Amino acid sequence: MRKGFTLLELLLAVSIFAVISIAVYSTFNAGMNVWRRVSATSLHEKRRVLKIEKLKKELRQSFVFKEKEITFIGGNNQLSFPVIIGSRIKKAVYSYDPSRRALLKGIGDLSEIADARDESGKWMPEMSVFVENVDNVTFSYFNFDLTKGVYSWADKWENKAGLPAAVRCNITFPENETFAETIFIPAG
């Protein structure tokens, strides 16, 4: 009896080794591509993405609140809505300021409403820069139009009794990079 491998056994072993090698290489290569993309992203861009994710999270947490100063109000480049932060109901305001080229954010508490009204009698929280170096910001609102019987997009949200089903947010940055996302509001 002779000891050794047949040609068929060798071909089978080489084939199995080749398939395993290709799988390992593909996994390693995919990981390297992700690492290259992440390391190529600047810290500024990472912060920008995290801020936009925070805006999306707060919009998803919006709810119907009957206090007229904190209802959901939406314009083409500004929106405000009620949100619960911690255990308190607050008003979140996002507004684009073209002179500062920034998306501004303000968070205010219900207790501040009576004390801090502007000259028009409306209450606005103190605004600070949320995302800087922005060329343009637009918001649009998705809801069921009772008059037409269809869902449609609008540049303003004027329905004081409820929430839109979704908000489309378009943020344009100087590098011709545009962040465009539709944020669905579960309570809408």
- pLDDT of res. 21: 94
For residue 2, is it within any domain?
no
Q: Domain check: are 33 and 65 in the same one?
A: no
Q: Domain check: are 115 and 60 in the same one?
A: yes
Which structural domain range is residue 32 located in? 8-40
Q: Which residue has the higher pLDDT, 94 or 35?
A: 94
Q: Domain check: are 103 and 168 in the same one?
A: yes
pTM attached to this predicted model: 0.70
Reply yes or no on whether the pLDDT at 35 is more than 60: yes
- pLDDT of res. 185: 87
Reply yes or no on whether the pLDDT at 114 is more than 60: no
For residue 15, is it within any domain?
yes
For residue 173, is it within any domain?
yes
Q: How confident is the model at residue 117 (pLDDT cuts 50, 70, 90)?
A: low
* E-state strands within the chain: 73-74, 78-85, 88-97, 102-109, 128-132, 136-145, 150-154, 166-172, 178-184
Q: How confident is the model at residue 119 (pLDDT cuts 50, 70, 90)?
A: low
Judged by DSSP in three states, 65 sits in coil
CA dist 54 and 38 (Å) reads 20
Structurally, the chain folds into a number of domains equal to: 2
Mean pLDDT calculated for residue range 25-52: 80
Largest CA distance in the chain: 104
Q: Which residue has the tokens 């545009």?
A: 178
Q: Domain check: are 78 and 127 in the same one?
A: yes
